[in-house]
Amino acid sequence: MSSNVALPPRHHEPWLLENGNPKSLSKEIMRHGRTAHNMSSSSLRKKSDLTLVSRVPYACLRRLLANLQEVILGTKLFVLFPAIPLAILANCYGFGRPWIFALSLLGLVPLAERVSFLTEQIAYYTGPTVGGLLNATCGNATELIIAIFALKDRKISVVKYSLLGSILSNLLLVLGTSLFCGGIANLGREQKYDRRQADVNTLLLLLALLCHLLPMLFRYSGASATLTAEPALQLSRASSIVMLIGYVAYIVFQLWTHRQLFESQEDSELGDDDAVEETAVIGFWSGFTWLLGMTLIIALLSEYVVATIEDASDSWGLSVSFLSIILLPIVGNAAEHAGAIIFAFKNKLDITLGVALGSAAQIAMFVVPLCVIVAWIMGINMNLDFNILETGSLALSIIATAFTLQDGTSHYLKGLVLLLFYIVIAACFFVSKTPLNQANIIIPGVKMTTEAVFGT
């Protein structure tokens, strides 16, 4: 191709996609197919310049290079990709295990954002409904994979801590930082948002809280530990099934019966030009292959994280509970969190709330009960009793968030208070030095080990 020939627009370059020309999305499809999670992650993406790639004479090589540029270099977080091979090399050559833990965490940051990108690309070919289901299941893939590997190693405490930390991080850190930054950046403007979506997510979180409270209250019912352990486990499994049913109903509510509640956040943000020009940049099978490959890499790094978290705890002098509840969620969801804060700066709080509350509800109503069911299948006795300190933190966080969002308006003080909540909870787990699975928990009249509490 000579240099004096003008390059066609991207949506006319069939060599980019094995399926031919990508689909151009109408405004209607755009509304139905994209979620707050997608829009948040998209704030960290950057457009790729394919001028040089288009001059490669071989079609297969052009397609491969184009995919590499879109997938690897199409995010502002691409500078963290070298952490992935470094973590693998550190593990293979026996470097310090805390280094493996740190490098694996850094490698998970861009992978989480790229999974969101790839599910959105696949949704362009499958349609908005299947795309919505993909987002509903893959939105917190990193947390789920880490939890599965922790279950495999029977580190049930790590599972509970990391999932609890993800909920607290979304409700307090992400939402608090977003409201605070948004309030400071928009001091002269009143910040409003649609309360209806926030009310739905808060109601789901309260249901999840009830399912966590009841098994814990069994231990305070006055009966002996031997009499309450089995009923608490059975109640946890039954409650997990109920929560999964509730989550399926939420998906139906979100994608079919009341999807207008979740579209309102995008209507004022998407102009006609944006809706027409939005196209897929890689093909369906390329997207599927990349998604599968990145999921496998996430699984590998998750295994490293789970295997080295106790060594990192000993080396850094931090408790496993602090690493799991505070550090893991911050690093694992960094891309999503940054996007939520960026939209708050732009006074687009509906998107911010969709990210923070939607992700918290997804973990509480889908990931946590799914882990209980998976543990049940694996023959591991995992229950929903997160212990009194952890459950109390969760309850106060949900209540504080509900009060914060009750009037449909926001200002920086609300965000600051939520951030202060998070700092106090982080300080609590920072000073906690309880060894993993070795604490004796004293209940009036009953001496009971964490083995019974966590179901290990």
Q: What is the DSSP string of 8-47?
A: PPGGG-GGG-TTSSPPBPPHHHHHHH--HHHHHHHTTB--
Residue 439: the pLDDT is 39
User: Tokens 């001091």 label which residue?
Assistant: 187
Residue 13: the pLDDT is 46
Residue 257: the pLDDT is 82
Residue 234: the pLDDT is 93
Do residues 350 and 264 touch, judged by C-beta distance below 8 A?
Answer: yes
Compute the C-alpha angle 143/77/184, nearest 5°.
Answer: 85
Residue 266: the pLDDT is 47
Residue 6: the pLDDT is 41
Q: What are phi and psi of 192, to 5 degrees?
A: -125, 160
Flag whether 231 is in a domain.
Answer: yes
Q: Containing H/E element for 449?
A: strand 446-449
User: Which of 208, 182, 200, 309 lies closest to 261 in space, CA to CA?
Assistant: 200
Residue 366: the pLDDT is 93
Averaged pLDDT, groups of 10, the chain, 456 residues long: 41 44 43 51 61 68 76 83 93 89 90 82 74 70 88 91 93 92 86 86 94 88 75 93 94 82 53 50 84 91 91 88 89 76 85 87 93 94 91 95 90 93 94 60 40 43
Residue 245: the pLDDT is 96
Give me the domain span that covers residue 241: 35-263+284-431
Residue 41: the pLDDT is 54
- Give the global pTM: 0.81
The count of domains in the chain is 1
439 backbone φψ class: left, alpha, beta (φ>0; ψ -120 to 50)? beta
Flag whether 11 is in a domain.
Answer: no
What gap in Å lies between CA 55 and CA 149, rounded to an integer?
44
Residue 340: the pLDDT is 82
Do residues 178 and 422 touch, judged by C-beta distance below 8 A?
Answer: no
Q: Which two tokens stand for residue 133?
A: 């289901």
Flag whether 456 is in a domain.
Answer: no
Burial of 145 (0-12, 13-18, 19+ CB in 10 A): buried
What gap in Å lies between CA 182 and CA 227, rounded to an integer?
51
Residue 36: the pLDDT is 54
Do residues 213 and 391 touch, judged by C-beta distance below 8 A?
Answer: yes
Q: What are phi and psi of 39, to 5 degrees?
A: -65, -35
User: Which of 275, 283, 285, 292 lies closest to 114 in space, CA to CA?
Assistant: 292
Amino acid identity for residue 236 in this structure: S
Do residues 290 and 110 touch, judged by C-beta distance below 8 A?
Answer: no
Q: Which two tokens stand for residue 410?
A: 């926001």
Flag whether 294 is in a domain.
Answer: yes
Flag whether 58 is in a domain.
Answer: yes
User: Which of 358, 402, 386, 356 lies closest to 206 in space, CA to CA?
Assistant: 402
User: Tokens 């993800």 label which residue?
Assistant: 166
Flag whether 41 is in a domain.
Answer: yes
Flag whether 28 is in a domain.
Answer: no
Flag whether 17 is in a domain.
Answer: no
Beta bridge partners of 441: 448
